[in-house]
Structure 1
Amino acid sequence: MVKLKDIKCFHTERTWAFPLGITSIVCLFLLATCFNMGLLPPLYKINSFFPLFNARVSSNHSIPHYAEQKVISSNLQSRTSTPRFAYLISGSKGDLNKLWRTLRALYHPWNYYVVHLDLESDPDERMELASRVERDPMFVKVGNVYMIMKANMVTYRGPTMVSNTLHACAILLKKNKDWDWFINLSASDYPLVTQDDLLSTFRNLNRGWNFVEHTSELGWKEDQRAMPLMIDPGLYENKKSDIFWVQPDRPLPTAFKLFTGSAWMVLSRSFVEYCIWGWDNLPRTLLMYYTNFVSSPEGYFQTVICNVPEFIPTVINHDMHFISWDNPPKQHPHVLNISDTKNMIKSGAAFARKFGQDSTVLDRIDSELLNRPNGSFTPGGWCKDGSSCSEVGKPTRIKPGPGAKRLRKLINKLVRSAQNGNQCR
């Protein structure tokens, strides 16, 4: 027999069971909505507190790595396809014709080129360069030559040269995603090998190698460059003037190790991306430090790459240049002439500097090393109509010459040294 109190209890349970069910449904709906809108942490974070979710979550989610940890991109792996080079060729007042000659000697339809005449050059010079680029039938057809129209002020001994280099890197990364190495040159540089020689030699290299001449032994540069503080007026004036000094001197840094070397280099795209994006902030920190550093182009990239453990194994201690210096070196190297030809060839380097305007040694390089007719492009497998190179055939058709053998011998030696761990010392 059912008692009255049992009937009352049963009735009471029914009165609160229905609201409880409705409330549970609403709560589940709100919880799902919050996950979907990102108002609650994702399941993999909740899972770190509640192991109960392990069986289901682990198969579909993984805890992400920190952004700073991803430094080396996939292009470090060796590839068999033809590599691409991205060039910056820069000049200053009076360098128009030198820059134009260097550009044509270096041109290949498979590569990319940024040209820049700094703010010290006459406006007429810059307009003439822009006009030549816009009117050249090859450049118009292929579309791989770009000019920096808003000229930068560049002072060699100040940080503005580093800024200009990074500017060109950013342009190249924005316009094209498929190049492999960045090469910075000036109008006073000239190639010692054809682009086919260069492409052929680099074709089988690991795309992560960086050719950066460097040393941590600062020597006299410690007192005369690292510790003094200077200001580069090129950062805020529209006319070039020399740097000036401020007091007091500063001590050597303790947060990072300083390196120095050549201002000319061949950089992998992965390292260039790191310098531009700077996801662990080191490139920006060092850029601010080198703002007051004498001849910062000879230290900025060296110090960045040698303070990142992931990039140290990629460094090859060479700038791919033949340069004749005094001992000890002065601010500028010797101007090369005919008597330097033998040593240039013997070096196996891809480029040389520095050359004067229309020097006879350039004519000799054109005829003996590049097989380049006067004023034309350097012939290569891409030329559809032979040595005149007025028509593009297959851009990836490569015809290496004797220069490839010289360059390959040098690079093989350098790679062996790098693989033995002789980097960033």
Structure 2
Amino acid sequence: MPLRYPTAARGCGAAVERWMFPILSVLFVAVLLLLSGISGFKASTAFLDRRLTATDVRRGSAHLPSFAYYITGGRGDSSRVLRLLLAVYHPRNRYLLHLSADAPASERADLAARAWLSIPAIRAFGNVDVIGKASAMTPMGSSGLAATLQAASLLLRLDDGWDWFVTLTAEDYPLISQDDLIYAFSHVPRNLSFVNHTSDIGWKEDKRVKPIIVDAGIYLANRKSFFKATQNRVTPQSFKFFTGSPWVILSRSFVEYCVLGWDNLARTLLLYFTNVLSSQEGYFHSLICNSQDFQNMTVNSDLRYTAWDSPPTTEPHFLNMTDYDEMIKSGIPFARQFRQGDAVLDKIDRMILKRRYNKAVPGAWCSSQNRWIDPCSRWDNANIVQPTHRSEKLGKLIKTLLDEWESSTSSCR
């Protein structure tokens, strides 16, 4: 059973232990993970049927793009995270799954084993990992931001070929197949990031910028609360404060800048946002829009479909069947937020993704012709895609966004 000893995540200052799946059985690995308290798991190629050898994935500017997905959830979310993984899986991509510290180790082990069983291609491509040493990810604190930066660093270290870093939670779901998404993004410059942002912070100046908070999850085990100082601080003058959606699609070059921070701006802003309420709504936005290298490489959209009540509350409402038509018409690739097991998810699977229960979304890489078995139980070429009309809608949306970006009407520049 191969074992990887703790290695420092590049640029994060965090040590991460990672174990690989053993070569005996899934049952054995699940029991072992429960007993050992290890901090990370990785699928291996041990059980790969050699008759199903996959074509090597080709990466780089001359080939189709790929995505690094960071998918998060909390206690009780393993089934939702697995379903989301199945809905966005493609051999070209990389995946890092993270259940927060309030979830028991048994749930993380179960997620790892079920992912390994549900998607046979994982055993060939080895592109799914589960974080075992979890972070608190306090909803309103900075531990979630710290976990995101750690995930970005890990994905840089694990895979040198992906082009965009995508953050998703258990409450998200795709409205498009990966074949369609990959095809649409093949026409996007790979140094562009998609970040919903504004410098018109309004009420957030008093509620988000000035208060000083301390995330209890940073130093207390399994705490998801925060403490607030009695006094406020002034709005920063050394940089311009931007805010927006916490869900982002970041270019690899910008992620490298966040982790390595060669001009120190990334670290300076991180020191400030450690004590900011809802820091994930401002850190990447402020960093990218204050950076001379990246502020002109920012498309003002998070590519998420959300629906707000009137008058709006602090969170969009949960999507359901009444939202289906508008979601699909929008051409937006992702939507949030959904309740677990809502019927609208089944409709998206059936009508849009063509996904069978507990199976990955079929794509051009799937080669099984037997209608009675999983079409992705066998595969051929992961370097081709077969887009549908859904990619045309997304393509039109992206073209509109790029036109706005080029005309400077929707960029922090």
User: TM-score, normalised on structure 1?
Assistant: 0.80
Q: Distance in 1 between matches of 2:324 and 2:223?
A: 34
Distance, in Å, in 1 between the alignment partners of 2:300 and 2:292 is 16
1:424 aligns with 412
Q: Report what 2:139 is aligned to.
A: 156
Q: Specify the alignment match of 1:395 in structure 2.
A: 382
Query: How far is 1:134 from its partner?
Result: 4.3
User: Which of the numbers 336, 340, 350 marks the counterpart of 2:333?
Assistant: 350
Query: How much does 1:276 deviate?
Result: 0.2
CA distance in 2, matches of 1:380, 1:357: 25
- 1:37 equivalent in structure 2: none
Which residue in 2 is equivalent to 1:32?
none
Q: CA deviation at 1:384?
A: 1.2
> Quick one: which of 319, 336, 341 aligns to 1:336?
319
- SS of the aligned residue for 1:114 comes to strand
Where in structure 2 are the equivalents of 1:208-287 lying within 5 Å? 208-287=191-270
8 Å contact from structure 1 (residues 79, 206) kept in 2: no
By how many angstroms is 1:264 displaced? 0.5
Note the alpha carbon deviations across 1:203-223, whole angstroms, 9 max, x for none. Answer: 121101100000000011001
Q: Deviations over 1:235-286 (max 9, x none)?
A: 1111223222102100000110000000111100000000000011111111
1:320 corresponds to: 303
Find out whether 1:107 has 2:86 as its counterpart: no
1:69-80 equivalent positions in 2, closer than 5 A = 79-80=61-62
Letter in 1 for 2:198: T
Between 230-239 and 189-198, the greater mean CA deviation after superposition: 230-239
The letter of the residue matching 2:345 is L
Aligned identity (percent) is 43
8 Å CA contact 1:109–1:392 kept in 2: the answer is: no
Say which one has the larger Rg.
Answer: 1
In the alignment, the residues of structure 1 paired with residue 224 and residue 172 of structure 2 have an alpha-carbon distance, to the nearest angstrom, of 24
Q: Is the 8 A contact 1:89 1:185 kept in 2?
A: yes
Match of residue 15 from structure 1: none
Map of 1:197 onto structure 2: 180
Equivalent in the alignment of 1:130: 112
Unpaired runs of 5+ residues, structure 1, are 1-77
The alignment partner of 1:330 has SS state of coil
Q: Which deviates further from its counterpart, 215-224 or 324-333? A: 324-333
Secondary structure class of the residue paired with 2:121:
helix
Counterparts of 1:163 and 1:391 in 2: how far apart (Å)? Answer: 38
- Matching of residues 5-20 of structure 1 within 5 Å: none
Distance in 2, matches of 1:174 and 1:415, equals 30
Between Structure 1 and Structure 2, how many residues are aligned? 348
Deviates more, 1:278-287 or 1:129-138: 129-138
- 1:327: Cα distance to partner? 4.9
Unaligned runs of 5+ in 2: 1-59
Cross-structure match for 2:154:
171
**3-state secondary structure, aligned to 2:314:** coil
Letter in 1 for 2:196: E
CA distance in 1, matches of 2:187, 2:240: 32
Q: How does 1:42-53 map to 2 (within 5 A)?
A: none
Following superposition, the deviation at residue 135 of structure 1 comes to 4.2
Query: Separation in 2 of the partners of 1:328 and 1:144?
Result: 43
Aligned counterparts of 1:164 and 1:332: Cα–Cα separation in 2: 22
Q: Is the 8 A contact 2:67 2:93 kept in 1?
A: yes
Which position in structure 1 is the counterpart of 2:34? none
4+ residue stretches of structure 1 with deviation over 4 A?
none
- Looking at structure 2, the residues matched to 252 and 412 of structure 1 have their Cα atoms a distance apart, in angstroms, of 36
- TM-score (norm: length of structure 2): 0.82
Where does residue 56 of structure 2 map in the other structure? none
Partner-residue secondary structure (3-state), 1:313: coil
Answer whether contact 2:105 2:132 (CA < 8 A) is retained. Answer: no
Q: Secondary structure, in 3 states, of the residue corresponding to 2:68? A: strand
Distance 2:323 2:291 in 1: 38
CA contact (8 A) 1:80 1:203 kept: no
Query: What is residue 273 of structure 2 aligned with on the other side?
Result: 290
Deviation at 1:113, TM superposition (A): 0.3
CA contact (8 A) 2:192 2:297 kept: yes
Tell me, yes or no, if structure 1 residue 404 matches structure 2 residue 387: no
Q: Which amino acid aligns with 2:128?
A: V
- What letter is aligned with 2:398? I
Instruction: Verify the 8 A CA contact 1:215 1:260 in the aligned structure 2.
Output: yes
For 1:237 and 1:93, the matched residues in 2 are separated by: 17
1:81-115 per-residue CA deviation (whole Å, 9 max, x = no partner) reads 10011000010011111000000011001110000
Q: How far is 1:336 from its partner?
A: 0.6
Please give the per-residue CA displacement for 1:318-355, whole angstroms capped at 9, x wherever unaligned. 00100112356433221110000011112211100111
User: Whole-Å Cα distance in 1 between the matches of residues 309 and 168 of structure 2?
Assistant: 21
Paired residue for 2:343?
Answer: 360
Question: In the aligned structure 2, how far is the partner of 1:244 from the partner of 1:165?
Answer: 21
Aligned to 1:415: 402
Q: Considering only aligned residues, what root-mean-square deviation do their CA atoms show, in Å?
A: 1.4
